[in-house]
Structure 1
């Protein structure tokens, strides 16, 4: 690995995250925070589009690298497996974010409610496990 291969991505990541530094320290107003967040999202999308263009032109291709052989169906299968895992984890996070504070409130009022409230929090986590199971089944079929 050359120095340029290490420095260039680190520099790009630093430039992308630079507009958010003051926002996370809490030293900006709402209008400035919106501007910084918009700048961050636009620069991230510009870098992603630039990487796609460079990859299409073969700029970052290694000299002796083997090409990846596969069909479009396999690629879409991997995308589907990633979507199943990602969206189920997102849904589980939303479910736990709603159930956990309610469970803590119920437990603080009556200590006998601990088991019942813990079940509702665990049910929310079950959604992520089901999504992971579906993605494993999808990958096994490829």
Structure 2
């Protein structure tokens, strides 16, 4: 299983090289179609925020359910669950930052 994951990562890296190599020529060719690239930027930013917020919500929901179960058995564990919920909410923040970078660059 580990070999398959490493192989998939290497294939993705190998396929990304030609994409970035052609980016300069594609950018020069698409200067006339600026509205088309702007639309793709909005779609990409929306997907970045949407998917990260959905993933963050699922993570916070599962962490919250586990924290409530643990606190019902031992009330002293309430403070230990908060950092994990904060880490899960950080997923949403990273999605927003990625969307911001997509819109700026």
CA RMSD in angstroms comes to 1.6
Q: How does 1:96-107 map to 2 (within 5 A)?
A: 96-107=60-71
Shift of 1:87: 0.3
Shift of 1:112: 2.1
Normalization by structure 2: what TM-score?
A: 0.63
1:19-59 Cα deviation digits (max 9, x unpaired):
xxxxxxxxxxxxxxxxxxxxxxxxxxxxxxxxxxxxxxxxx
Instruction: Write the distance in 1 (CA, Å) between the matches of 2:72 and 2:94.
Output: 31
Does residue 110 of structure 1 match 2:74?
yes
Shift of 1:102: 0.6
Structure 2, unaligned runs of 5 or more = 1-32
Shift of 1:71: 2.7
- Paired residues of 1:106 and 1:117 also in contact (CA < 8 A): no
Structure 1, unaligned runs of 5 or more = 1-68
Instruction: Write the distance in 2 (CA, Å) between the matches of 1:99 and 1:75.
Output: 36
Shift of 1:108: 2.0
Please, which of 92, 95, 99 is the counterpart of residue 128 of structure 1?
Answer: 92
Name the structure, 1 or 2, with higher relative contact order (CA <8 Å, separation 6+).
Answer: 2
Q: How does 1:8-19 map to 2 (within 5 A)?
A: none
Q: Paired residues, what number?
A: 73
Does residue 88 of structure 1 match 2:45?
no
Normalization by structure 1: what TM-score?
A: 0.48
- The aligned counterpart of 2:42 is 78
Whichever structure has more helix as a proportion of its residues is 2
